Amino acid sequence: MSKSLQAIRGMNDILPEQTPLWRYFESTVARLLDNYGYKQIRMPIVEFTELFKRSIGEVTDIVEKEMYTFEDRNGDSLTLRPEGTAACVRAVLEHGITGGGQTQKLWYIGPMFRHERPQKGRYRQFHQIGCEVFNLDGPDIDAELIVLTWRLWGQLGIRDAVKLELNSLGTSESRGRYREALVEYLSAHLDKLDEDSQRRLKTNPLRVLDTKNADTQAVLVDAPKMADYLDDESRTHFEGLKARLDAAGIPYVINPKLVRGLDYYSKTVFEWVTDKLGAQGTVCAGGRYDGLVEQMGGKPTTGVGFAMGIERLILLLETLEQIPEEISRQVDVYLCAFGEAAELAGLALSEQLRDQLPGLRLQVNAGAGSFKSQFKKADKSGALYALILGDDELAQQVVSVKPLRGQGEQQSIAFDALAAHLATCIVQG
């Protein structure tokens, strides 16, 4: 196929055989968030470029080199959203729904776009589910966000494969003092730092902490620690969070080098990581961003949130073979009709069945065909039963119900008893 007729590198089709797992994942998360009292918000996929520059920060990887930015026909600079928080903050400000200290517990789902090097677990269009909470500044809500993701891992059967890493970045004042100390220390070891870290030292020094370079990591062993620079407020907040996680029985490790890629975090930062996916091991990440709303022109409004990467979690479900059995079957019954009269009767009957059993997953054979070919299709559909309608059945106003998965004998069931019969033998997934 010519190149122009292929999908863009790093942007994937999610094929019919994969969508059941996606829908299972998405509905599991949606139900959980509903149950915790979070409300869904939907933002556009495109925003003014300025929004991301202002919120994510000019000297971050995302803004420096990963954004899909283009000019609108009227000359405006627009960007495909690389993450959800910026647009969410923009939306709550624009609609005044966090004004006067109003609390909002929100969630969103959708595609994000970053021009990164595509590899397993890293794509250019990927999908996130995220939560953002506004105007609740205590550690109780930070804990709730972590507790609910922990419950989700439990529901998905992946708890044993993920680990929680936690850190506190303090308030912007304490982070400022720490940044100074770090810059002073790293500047004294400048020649031992890798090139990237030397550059970051000038632009975004905290990012040096999460370098992958071994030489720089060696220098960092004796670097000043954020924990020693935390102000009392941040320290109390962090202790409050840890106490709640302990009370909820959620294991965690403190990772003093966890700084997160975005500029806007303060106090709590956390990541759920797995060692089952290779290098792309972070499946969910978040933190507190108490200064962001103000930075974007709003009244002081605290915020905390996270985003999980759907592709990575789907990969993890597949890797751990945590795919529930019921999602692999998508058809309950398959109706085969032989001859035109039977086909017409079959259509009427199937619509009647759909009225009577709204949850029934009924596939009607299309394109006619011999006994053999229709049975083959019925079997391939994964249905539990084939409903057979031929001249004999029609004459007697019955349907032959043939089990396809070895559950008993074929039975003749009268048209008007069919719904009740199917209701007893099909347990809805």
Scan residues 130-189 and list those touching ligand ATP (CB under 6 A).
none
Of the residues 33, 52, 83, 398, which one makes contact with ligand ATP according to CB under 6 A:
83
Any contact of residue 84 with ligand ATP (CB under 6 A)? no
In the complex, least distance from residue 42 CB atom to ligand ATP, rounded to whole angstroms:
18
Any contact of residue 114 with ligand ATP (CB under 6 A)? yes
Is 334 flagged in the annotation as binding?
Answer: no
Any contact of residue 289 with ligand ATP (CB under 6 A)? no
Query: In 10 A of CB 57, how many CB atoms?
Result: 19
Classify each residue of 229-265 as buried b or exposed e, where b means 16 or more C-beta atoms within 10 Å of its C-beta.
Answer: bbeeebeebbebbbebbeeeebebeebebbbbbbbbb
Any contact of residue 89 with ligand ATP (CB under 6 A)? no
| Nearer CB in complex with ligand ATP: 83/393 | 83
In the complex, least distance from residue 203 CB atom to ligand ATP, rounded to whole angstroms:
17
Q: Would you say the C-alpha torsion 165, 171, 174, 180 has a positive or negative sign?
A: positive
Any contact of residue 285 with ligand ATP (CB under 6 A)? yes
Any contact of residue 393 with ligand ATP (CB under 6 A)? no
| Nearer CB in complex with ligand ATP: 281/390 | 281
- Rounded Cα distance between 66 and 86, Å, is 15
Q: Which stretch binds ligand ATP (CB under 6 A): 102-110, 280-288, 336-344, 355-363?
A: 280-288
In the complex, least distance from residue 254 CB atom to ligand ATP, rounded to whole angstroms:
18
In the complex, least distance from residue 279 CB atom to ligand ATP, rounded to whole angstroms:
8
| Nearer CB in complex with ligand ATP: 311/393 | 311
Is 155 flagged in the annotation as binding?
Answer: no
Of the residues 26, 28, 122, 157, which one makes contact with ligand ATP according to CB under 6 A:
122
Please identify the residue of the shown chain whose CB is closest to the bound ligand ATP. 309
Of the residues 69, 172, 213, 280, which one makes contact with ligand ATP according to CB under 6 A:
280
Any contact of residue 314 with ligand ATP (CB under 6 A)? no
Any contact of residue 126 with ligand ATP (CB under 6 A)? yes
Q: Who contacts 125 (Cβ-Cβ below 8 Å, separation ≥6)?
A: 8, 10, 11, 12, 111, 112, 113
Any contact of residue 26 with ligand ATP (CB under 6 A)? no
Of the residues 106, 156, 307, 386, which one makes contact with ligand ATP according to CB under 6 A:
307
Of the residues 259, 283, 378, 422, which one makes contact with ligand ATP according to CB under 6 A:
283
Scan residues 328-357 and list those touching ligand ATP (CB under 6 A).
none
Annotated binding site for L-histidine: 83-85, 114, 128, 132, 260, 264-265
Using CB under 6 A, list all residues that contact ligand ATP: 83, 114, 116, 121-123, 126, 128, 261, 280, 282-285, 307-309, 311-312
